[in-house]
Structure 1
Amino acid sequence: MATIQIENGPAFSCGPHDTIMRAAVRAGHGFPYECNAGSCGNCRFELLEGAVHHHRADSPAYGERDQRRNRWLGCQALPESDCRIKVRLDAHYESTYPPRKLAAELVDIAPITHDISEFTFRVVEAQQALPGQYALVKLPGMDAPRAYSMCEVSDDGLTWAFQIKSVPNGKASAVLARLHPGALVDIDGPYGMAYLREDADRDILCVAGGSGLSPMISVARAAARSSALAGRAIHFLYGGRMMRDLCGEPMLQALPGYGERIHYHPVLSAQPLDGAETWTGRQGFVHEAAAELFGERLKDMEVYFAGPPPMAEAIKRMLHDNAVPQGQVHFDEFY
């Protein structure tokens, strides 16, 4: 167990095999982070005393300039001794439910589309999360955990469900394809800043593509059930290439207010290949659909989005172009 002292700040303990950033968030401190995978660089800190090494030696966000300045990535840095570090804490990153490492058992797998399935796990101890957050799941035989967003956490905190997309030739996807109920995994969470803001008295826009379905369904479900948001409309845009990619509507139809305050907007980016399929709905990309559907109204909405990086970048540009205040935009950086 190493002691990490933040210069002009608090000290906290970092357990074996834990990273400095995750240990700080577990201790209730606002250590900045985003992707939790060594790709964004938001968790950089300066090492003043002590020794660390990176769990992921090839972290994309870590370069020669960082090495020269003795800077490290908090989400990858494993302490080899007690350390003194320099980092600017931010209350924005303090977790309502500090993340914990929990053993979990797979209890169900349910297909959603041809390449998305819902995996439901039962954890050994109750742990809550905010709608829209994610967890790090350590799969059998994998060296590092993968970040997956929850679509739902049960009221008692014992059941965690994830909607996960199968990636061709993906290592984690290959492991998931071999799992059966009864399989054991380790879950570390919750993490993430793209959670539902119940104190925001604005209509809600959720934009999703691929397995971005999972956190957006979580946000929509919680918003539909929130008394604080009872008068607010919920718009859900889902983008896919083909008709077989579209999903989410049956989950929304199960919520109170569907068709009245809850609205589903599917978007296809490609023409159907099968001549038997006909599509009369909206075509294009989800960021284009959002701009066309809401235009000036976007500035008055609370916007949540999740999906592939190119989609996320396009949505960010579109929201900036439409002058949506940054404080009303919520997403987690995944790479």
Structure 2
Amino acid sequence: MSASTSDPGTLRIAIQSCDATYGCAPDDTLLGAGLRAGLGIPYECGVGACGTCKFELLDGEVAALRQDAPGLSARDRAKGRWLACQSRPLGDCVIKLRLDEAAKPVIAPRRRRANLLAAIPLTHDITEFRFRADDGADFLAGQYALLALPGVQGARAYSMSNLANGEGEWHFQVRLVPDGAATGALFTLSPGAAIGLDGPYGMAYLRPPDERDVVCIAGGSGLAPMISVARGFARQAPPGRSLRFFYGARAPRDVCGEALLRELPGYGERITYHASVSADQDGGWPGHRGFVHQLVDEVLGSGLADCEIYLAGPPPMIESVEALLREVHQVPPERLHYDRYF
């Protein structure tokens, strides 16, 4: 693949041993530009936390956007490894990394500006932010975008809760993090405020729901991508297929999502909602008490092995659910889809 020559400022990035080169603008990342060129560069979080997009710099110079990125260990740094999602080229470069056909983007990410339309509270600390860009919103159910927020250094990853649309609307359901720079900026935006939006990203998108029933398991602001997957299921799934939606919350006031699912055709029949609360101090919660993976096991048990399963939530929840699915019920890894939250 040849580097783009349409922009005289485009730099040439060559990937050693796989006969691939691509163009990268000086203000773009090696990961973003590679995915925009259609290359299968493995990645997950997009914000420097997971380390999936590590590469070796063989020639040239790059600048690190996040010097303390946890995705690189001290050993990685000593060996001259970098993160493609946090590296901008300072000139033409030669890098070493493995390409993966499975990581090739179905929809190449694009950078755009978007304006805030509305902020709609869902719970005491989760709000849905609706943005609109000038072009269509093209993404797969379950994917995320990188938001560049005013006054915040570095992009932040947030999952879309809606579906692709020609109106250019991108909806995000975000939990307010105490003293969080990004959510602090996001929650103080006024309608009309502009942000940078780069997307779509993510591999945990809805696969065609033709052959298996679907299970969505969410915790916290992991609600957003699971709502998107449920909406995609309601639109795409053939008759006879079902979706079970599980939500894990700390306290009763944190429980959410059912009202959004009630809007979907088939709710109460082929789409059902189950919630669990892990800390009910007042004893007023009438539903399941405990962790969400325990509820999933009680409801579906061995039937999980026959389902397509999507997860989104905090790392402890993901780890517990993954152990249940892989170790107890032997769910094949190709039927388990999630992007880790950091």
TM score, norm. by length of structure 1: 0.96
The DSSP-based 3-state class of the residue aligned with 1:21 is helix
CA contact under 8 A between 1:272 and 1:279: conserved in structure 2?
A: no
Task: Quote the Cα distance in structure 1 between the aligned partners of 2:78 and 2:288.
Answer: 51
Distance 1:79 1:94, change over 3 A: same
CA distance in 1, matches of 2:29, 2:309: 31
2:257 to 248, 264, 268: 248
Counterpart among 325, 330, 341 of residue 323 in structure 1: 330
Whether the 8 Å CA contact 1:133–1:193 is kept in 2: the answer is yes
Are the aligned partners of 1:224 and 1:230 in contact in 2 as well (CA < 8 Å)? no
Q: Is 1:310 aligned to residue 316 of structure 2?
A: yes
* Aligned residue among 296, 307, 316 for 1:301: 307
Q: Is the CA contact 1:194–1:330 (under 8 Å) kept in the aligned structure 2? A: yes
Q: How far did 1:229 drift?
A: 3.7
Where structure 1 has 5 or more consecutive residues not aligned to the other structure, the ranges are none
1:332 counterpart = 2:339: yes
Q: Tell whether 2:202 aligns with 1:192.
A: yes
Q: Is the contact between residue 102 and residue 188 of structure 1 (CA under 8 Å) also seen in structure 2? A: yes
Change in CA separation of 1:229 and 1:329 when aligned onto 2, cut-off 3 Å: farther
Residue aligning to 2:5: none
Q: Is the 2:143–2:202 Cα contact (8 Å) retained in structure 1?
A: yes
Match of 1:38 in 2: 48
> Is the Cα–Cα contact under 8 Å of residues 116 and 190 in structure 2 kept in the other structure?
yes
Matching of residue 84 in structure 1 with residue 84 in structure 2: no
SS in 2 for 1:113: coil
- For residues 45-79 of structure 1, what are the alpha-carbon distances to aligned partners after superposition, in whole Å with 9 as ceiling and x for unaligned? 11111111211000112133223322211111111
Match of 2:37 in 1: 27
Q: Is the 8 A contact 1:116 1:163 kept in 2?
A: yes
1:262 aligned residue? 271
Q: 1:230 to 1:157 in 2, by over 3 A?
A: farther
Q: Alpha-carbon deviations, 1:275-324, whole Å to 9, x = none?
A: 7xx22211100111111211110100100010111111111111112211
Residue in structure 1 matching 2:155, options 139, 142, 145? 145
CA RMSD of aligned residues (A): 1.3
Query: Which residue number in structure 1 is paired with residue 83 of structure 2?
Result: 73
Shift of 1:249: 0.6
| Unmatched segments (≥5 aa) in structure 2 | 1-9
Q: Say which SS state the counterpart of residue 31 (structure 2) adopts.
A: helix
Deviations 1:145-174 (A, max 9, x none): 110000014421511111111111111121
Pair 1:245–1:325, CA change in 2 (3 A): same
Query: Residue 119 of structure 1 contacts residue 162 of structure 1 at CA under 8 Å; is this kept in 2?
Result: yes
> How far apart in 1 are the matches of 2:51 and 2:233?
31
Q: Given the alignment, which residue of 144, 147, 150 partners 1:134? A: 144
* 1:285 maps to 2:291: yes
Which deviates further from its counterpart, 188-197 or 121-130? Answer: 121-130
**Pairing partner for 2:108 from 79, 90, 98:** 98
Query: Is the contact made by 2:48 and 2:71 (CA closer than 8 Å) also made in structure 1?
Result: yes
Cα distance in 1 between the residues matched to 2:137 and 2:227: 20
- Say whether 1:119 aligns with 2:137: no
Confirm or deny: 8 A CA contact 1:128 1:157 kept in the other structure.
no
Inter-partner Cα distance in structure 2 for 1:11 and 1:140? 33
Measured in 1, the distance between the counterparts of 2:28 and 2:242 equals 41
Between Structure 1 and Structure 2, how many residues are aligned? 331
Q: d(CA) in 2 for partners of 1:148 and 1:261?
A: 28
Instruction: Pick the aligned partner of 2:243 from 234, 240, 247.
Output: 234
In 2, the alpha carbon distance for the partners of 1:40 and 1:200 equals 32
What letter corresponds to residue 244 of structure 1 in structure 2?
R
